[in-house]
């Protein structure tokens, strides 16, 4: 099993700096204003990490399986299906988890597909708020 997650920056003493930006290039960015409706995003072929910020209200996120046809998020008691909560005014960092085991990856593809990582994510907000997201 390979370590596909981007590196954290380190101090001169060799300690990881947890709150610093990842040592990785940005693959894609999203700005979803007044995101009260669920949005589903397909990740790039090279995406291994996400940062999601909720602005003006609470955000909800979940990983979406490739075979899933009903990908929207529900945040109503009794039928809720979100996996993570992003408090208003905060940024959460996620390493994209594996969805499937890939036994023999093909020769030309990005690390996301080669490692069998989730390829889609969904998010929405509680009320009129915004989601800002960055793929690494």
* pLDDT tens-digit map of 67-126: 888 888 887 777 889 999 999 999 999 999 999 877 766 667 788 888 999 999 999 998
Q: Are 38 and 79 in contact (CB under 8 A)?
A: no
Per-residue confidence (pLDDT) for residue 3, from 0 to 100: 83
pLDDT of residue 127: 87
The helix/strand/coil state of 101 is coil
Find, among 53, 22, 63, the residue nearest to 132 by Cα: 53
Three-state DSSP class for residue 68: coil
Pick the CATH number of 28-135 from 2.60.120, 3.40.50, 1.10.3470, 2.30.30: 2.60.120
Q: Domain residues of the chain, as ranges?
A: 28-135
Task: Output the pLDDT for position 32.
Answer: 87
Rounded mean pLDDT, 17-45: 88
User: What integer best gives the mean pLDDT of the chain?
Assistant: 89
Global pTM value = 0.85
Q: Check pLDDT > 90 for residue 2.
A: no
Residues 120, 40: contact at Cβ < 8 Å? yes
What local confidence, expressed as pLDDT, does residue 70 receive? Answer: 80
Res. 1: pLDDT tops 70? no
Amino acid 29: pLDDT? 96
Position 63 scores a pLDDT of 96
3-state secondary structure of 19: coil
């Amino acid at each position: 099993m390979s370590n596909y997650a981007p590196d954290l920056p380190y101090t001169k003493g060799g300690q990881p700096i947890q709150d610093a930006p990842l040592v990785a290039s940005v693959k894609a960015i999203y700005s979803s204003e007044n995101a009260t409706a669920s949005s589903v995003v397909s990740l790039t072929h090279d995406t291994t990490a996400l940062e999601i910020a909720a602005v003006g209200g609470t955000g909800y996120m979940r990983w979406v399986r490739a075979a899933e046809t009903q990908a929207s998020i529900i945040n109503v008691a009794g039928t809720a299906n979100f996996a993570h909560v992003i408090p208003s005014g905060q940024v959460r960092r996620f390493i994209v988890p594996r969805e499937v085991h890939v036994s023999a990856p093909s020769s030309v593809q990005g690390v996301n597909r080669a490692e069998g990582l989730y390829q889609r994510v969904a998010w929405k907000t509680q009320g009129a708020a915004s989601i800002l997201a960055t793929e690494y």
